[in-house]
Amino acid sequence: MWLTLPSLPVRATEHTLIAVKPDGVQRRLVGQIIHRFEQRGFKLVGLKMMQASEDLLSEHYREIVKKPFYPLVRAYMTAGPVIVMVWEGSNVVQSSRKMVGPTNGAEAQAGTIRGDFSFHVGRNVVHASDSTEGAQREIGLWFQENELLNWESCDQDWTIEANEDKQ
């Protein structure tokens, strides 16, 4: 039997900033990390490789910049290139945090990115924004507007139920 799928109204979408940290790049984990977000059904709308400057990093981590361990974070995060990405989808901020797992890989469950690829808080492979407001702020820090692409994904009707907006 064929399903008929009504075309979706344009929906307010959510975005998050995910970064593969220098250890993830060095350990050749970039592909596996991207794969997990693709597999979940989220849409990639921005991606680049860059060397983070200390200034950008202290803005990004403004909540921890005064913590005693921040110099370690700065050294870690500027030690090599990072991959920064913007992913789009329903509830993507919270879902990504769950996919990434808690800050300390030693406490992260197997099946999460940190639980599968790290066991030390200072080498935890990925960054994920922790709130929608934080995500907007971080996306604005790392990306120019013209680096984000608004493209139609052909599987959209199969990853989002059409009536979601009407409930």
Ligand X SMILES: Nc1ccn([C@@H]2O[C@H](COP(=O)(O)OP(=O)(O)O)[C@@H](O)[C@H]2O)c(=O)n1
Query: For residues 24 and 128, what is the distance between their CA atoms, to the nearest angstrom?
Result: 13
97 labelled binding-site residue: yes
Residue whose C-alpha is closest to residue 28's, from 89, 75, 80, 105 = 80
Q: Are 125 and 118 in contact (CB under 8 A)?
A: yes
Q: Which is nearer to ligand X, 36 or 157 (CB)?
A: 36
Whether 127 is catalytic is yes
Strands (E) located in 51-149: 82-88, 126-128
Q: Are 70 and 127 in contact (CB under 8 A)?
A: no
- Using CB under 6 A as the binding rule, whether residue 149 contacts ligand ATP is answered as no
Choose from ligand X, ligand ATP, none: what does 157 bind? Cβ within 5-8 Å by kind.
Answer: none
Give the number of residues in contact with ligand ATP, rule: CB under 6 A: 11
Query: For residues 31 and 35, what is the distance between their CA atoms, to the nearest angstrom?
Result: 6
143 labelled binding-site residue: no
Neighbours of 61 (CB within 10 A): 16
Q: Which is nearer to ligand ATP, 31 or 68 (CB)?
A: 68
Name the site residues for ligand X (rule: CB under 6 A). Answer: 61, 64, 69, 72-73, 103, 121-122, 124, 127, 130
- Using CB under 6 A as the binding rule, whether residue 95 contacts ligand ATP is answered as no
- Using CB under 6 A as the binding rule, whether residue 82 contacts ligand ATP is answered as no
- Using CB under 6 A as the binding rule, whether residue 121 contacts ligand ATP is answered as yes
Q: Is 36 helix (H, G, I), strand (E, B) or coil?
A: helix
Q: Are 43 and 92 in contact (CB under 8 A)?
A: no
To the nearest whole angstrom, how small is the minimum distance from the Cβ of residue 144 to ligand ATP?
Answer: 22
69 labelled binding-site residue: yes
Indicate which residues carry an active-site annotation: 127
Binding residues for ATP: 21, 69, 97, 103, 114, 124
Binding site feature residues: 21, 69, 97, 103, 114, 124
